[in-house]
Amino acid sequence: MIRFESVSKSYPDGTIAVGDLSLEVPDGQTTVFVGPSGCGKTTSLRMINRMIEPTGGRITVDDRDTASMDAATLRRSMGYVIQHAGLFPHRTIKANITTVPLLLGWDRRRAERRALELMEQVGLPEHLAGRYPAQLSGGQQQRVGVARALAADPPIMLMDEPFSAVDPIVREQLQDAFLMLQADLGKTIVFVTHDIDEAIKLGDQVAVLRVRGELAQLASPADLLAEPTDEFVADFVGKDRGYRTLGFRSASYPIATEPTVPVGATADLARVTAAGRWVLVIDDERRPLGWVDPDKVDQAVSIGSLHRGGTVASVTGTLREALDAALSSPTGRGVIVDESGALLGTVRAHEVVDAIAADAQRAP
Amino acid sequence: MDWFTAHVDEVWKLFVEHLYLSAVPLVIGLAIALPLGWLAKRYRIIGPPLIMGTGLLYTLPSLAVFILLPGILHTQILDPVNVIVAMTIYTIALLVRTVADGLRAVPEDVLLSATAMGYRPFSRLVKVELPLAVPVISAGLRVAAVSNVSIVSVAAIIGVQQLGSLFTDGFNRAFFAPIITGIVACVVLSLVLDLLIMGVTHVLTPWSRTRRPG
């Protein structure tokens, strides 16, 4: 556990970066520091591994005051990932990843084995091991940055806006990879971002900071959305927080049977099966493929004639998924699948909304 | 050409001497410029005066330095040490700024992550900053090499034997053959040093030749 006890950082010219910050970062979870620029989130992060020395208060890691430890040793026990990855341009990918293990005195063979293992874990093909950072895309470089931080298997990871310099599609891939890795590894992570959506997606708990590192609210993402403590947090969290809260709620709703046709069915079969204008097409394993309009089918239902606008919700998923499935479907009927991806049936938007209302009544 | 073929051995001796007098100061000068350049980059207060001060050394007239040094060093006027010391001074004059620039060219996020990985300051300098400064330092070193070859020849006026001696010889006898031989030999020597530095740089910086495909 990392504990901030009345930590402050001021500079000789009188600037106060962090006024008086106290909070706890629990083991095995992701704590996100989020806030507008100049809120001291990066300063707070860097005080953990003493890249910046606090001018007041103290920071403890597992009840040890970090100020009493050797700074370099402390840093080697924490993985660190920054915005542009900060890879060493003069070292190959493999050599970048083995940096900390070699600093810790690992045997070279073991370090290199570990590097290859990590490359696989973060989704980098092995043939990149001998390349230099300049030969990789931004997203790949960031994966190397994560692998390098994980190399010596540190219990703590510090991540400073690691995904903000890549394009939105790559960012989402990296975030998903992050969540999968963290589910496996259970590191104690402090993650800094200015992006509230990223904070809500990745955090187990989110610390919203305002200027001078003042802690505006520390809460789980769901609580943050449902109950912002004040106007600052409410504004920062954003306007559609009611809808986004659904991303953390699940409840049961009625699922209606939906008539289906397989790929390759004739237009006539599709027409008689359809309840209304559209009919749902499934594959051999009953997985929904998309909706089809029988009038637009020439001979047989083909993959090419499918309407692909609708999203699919898992029955074990959130109310947000279910509502989105209904809203995005051309029929107004949202497609619901089981855990294996096989079709269960459909649900209408008003049924999901009713379930939301019923769930809210039950909530304390 | 006849003159050259008749004096090959002599020219070769002068060539080697000239190489020695220009290359050795290059190495010593680099060794001294590295810590000075680091100091200039590291400390904001002494940086500018240090770079300006060492840079001014380059404006010292070489002939005057060659004449004055024996008195300062208590050496014989013909002692090659005088030339070595003088050329080292000129090398330092050119390289302190280059080293400081090279170290400054290392990206901030690379420094940051090196520190965060747990590098102590000295090993960060040796293992991260200096390797990344090699291309810039090497460019400065090439300038210093050519400059040394040219300035060393002036030492012929005080009698130190090297390719410059061919110029004084030719001048005294109003005879062009040795002068032209000397010029060609100086150019060849500069090329040799330049290629040598480029070769070493090439080996030290495989990473700088990589470009992202596509």
Q: Quick one: A57 exposed, middle or buried, by C-beta within 10 A (0-12, 13-18, 19+)? A: middle
Q: What is the DSSP letter of B174?
A: T
Taking the C-alpha atoms of residue A103 and residue A111, their distance in angstroms, rounded to an integer, is 10
Q: A87 to chain B, minimum CA–CA distance in Å? A: 6
Taking the C-alpha atoms of residue A348 and residue A58, their distance in angstroms, rounded to an integer, is 54
Q: Residue B177: what residue type?
A: A
Cβ pair B210:A87 closer than 8 A:
no
Enumerate the H helices of B60-152 as residue ranges: 62-73, 80-104, 108-117, 121-124, 130-152
Q: B52 to chain A, minimum CA–CA distance in Å? A: 29
Q: B43 to chain A, minimum CA–CA distance in Å? A: 18
Q: A308 to chain B, minimum CA–CA distance in Å? A: 32
Q: Residue A42: what residue type?
A: T
Taking the C-alpha atoms of residue B110 and residue B125, their distance in angstroms, rounded to an integer, is 12
What pLDDT does residue A311 have? 87
Taking the C-alpha atoms of residue B88 and residue B82, their distance in angstroms, rounded to an integer, is 10
Contact status of B76 with chain A (Cβ, < 8 Å): no
Q: pLDDT tens, A98-153?
A: 999 998 889 999 999 999 998 988 888 989 988 999 898 888 898 899 899 888 88
Q: pLDDT tens, B63-98?
A: 777 778 777 877 777 777 888 888 898 898 888 899
CA-CA-CA-CA torsion sign (A54, A55, A61, A66) = positive
Contact status of A90 with chain B (Cβ, < 8 Å): yes
For A24, the 3-state DSSP assignment is strand
In chain A, which residues have their Cβ closer than 8 Å to the Cβ of B113?
A: 80, 82, 85-88, 145
Q: B187 to chain A, minimum CA–CA distance in Å? A: 33
> What was the ipTM of the complex prediction?
0.78
Among residues B139, B160, B146, the alpha carbon closest in space to that of B191 is found at B146
> Which of B110, B212, B213 is nearest residue A86 as measured by Cβ atoms?
B110
Residue B174 half-sphere exposure toward CB, CA atoms < 13 A: 0
With beta carbons less than 8 A apart as the criterion, state whether B62 and B151 touch. Answer: yes
What pLDDT does residue B1 have? 65
Contact status of B118 with chain A (Cβ, < 8 Å): yes
Best interface-test mutation with A: which of B113, B134, B136, B202 has the largest number of A CBs within 10 A? B113
> Which of A90, A103, A132 is nearest residue B117 as measured by Cβ atoms?
A103
In chain A, which residues have their Cβ closer than 8 Å to the Cβ of B112?
A: 51, 82, 86
> Which of A49, A73, A88 is nearest residue B116 as measured by Cβ atoms?
A49
What pLDDT does residue B211 have? 61
In chain A, which residues have their Cβ closer than 8 Å to the Cβ of B114?
A: 86, 88
Tokens of A183: 């589910």
With beta carbons less than 8 A apart as the criterion, state whether B185 and B11 touch. Answer: yes
What pLDDT does residue B214 have? 40
Q: pLDDT tens, A138-165?
A: 888 988 998 998 888 899 999 999 888 8
Contact status of A138 with chain B (Cβ, < 8 Å): no
Quote the pTM value.
0.77
Q: By CA distance, what is B134's nearest residue in A?
A: A90
> Which of A51, A72, A88 is nearest residue B110 as measured by Cβ atoms?
A88
Taking the C-alpha atoms of residue A191 and residue A343, their distance in angstroms, rounded to an integer, is 38
Q: pLDDT tens, A261-277?
A: 888 888 888 888 887 88
Taking the C-alpha atoms of residue A278 and residue B45, their distance in angstroms, rounded to an integer, is 77
> Which of B107, B116, B211 is nearest residue A80 as measured by Cβ atoms?
B116
Contact status of B3 with chain A (Cβ, < 8 Å): no
Taking the C-alpha atoms of residue B46 and residue A150, their distance in angstroms, rounded to an integer, is 40
Instruction: Tell me the sheet residues that pair with A79.
Output: A157
Cβ pair A90:B212 closer than 8 A:
no
Contact status of A363 with chain B (Cβ, < 8 Å): no
Taking the C-alpha atoms of residue A204 and residue B139, their distance in angstroms, rounded to an integer, is 51
Cβ pair A99:B117 closer than 8 A:
yes
Computed on alpha carbons and rounded to an integer, the radius of gyration of chain A in Å comes to 25
Question: At how many degrees (to 10) do helices B47-56 and B8-42 cross?
Answer: 160
Cβ pair B112:A75 closer than 8 A:
no
Q: How far apart are the first and last CA of chain A?
A: 31
In chain A, which residues have their Cβ closer than 8 Å to the Cβ of B132?
A: 88-90
Enumerate the H helices of chain A as residue ranges: 41-48, 71-76, 93-97, 99-103, 108-121, 138-150, 168-185, 196-202, 221-226, 231-237, 241-245, 267-273, 319-328, 349-362
Contact status of B205 with chain A (Cβ, < 8 Å): yes
Interchain CB contacts (distance < 8 Å): A and B: 74
Per-residue pLDDT of chain B (214 residues; tens, 9 = 90+): 677 777 777 778 888 888 888 889 999 999 998 998 898 888 888 888 888 888 778 878 877 777 787 778 777 777 778 888 888 988 988 888 999 999 998 998 899 999 998 899 999 999 999 999 999 999 999 999 888 888 888 777 777 777 777 777 777 777 777 788 878 888 888 899 899 999 998 888 888 876 654 4
Q: How far apart are the first and last CA of chain B?
A: 53
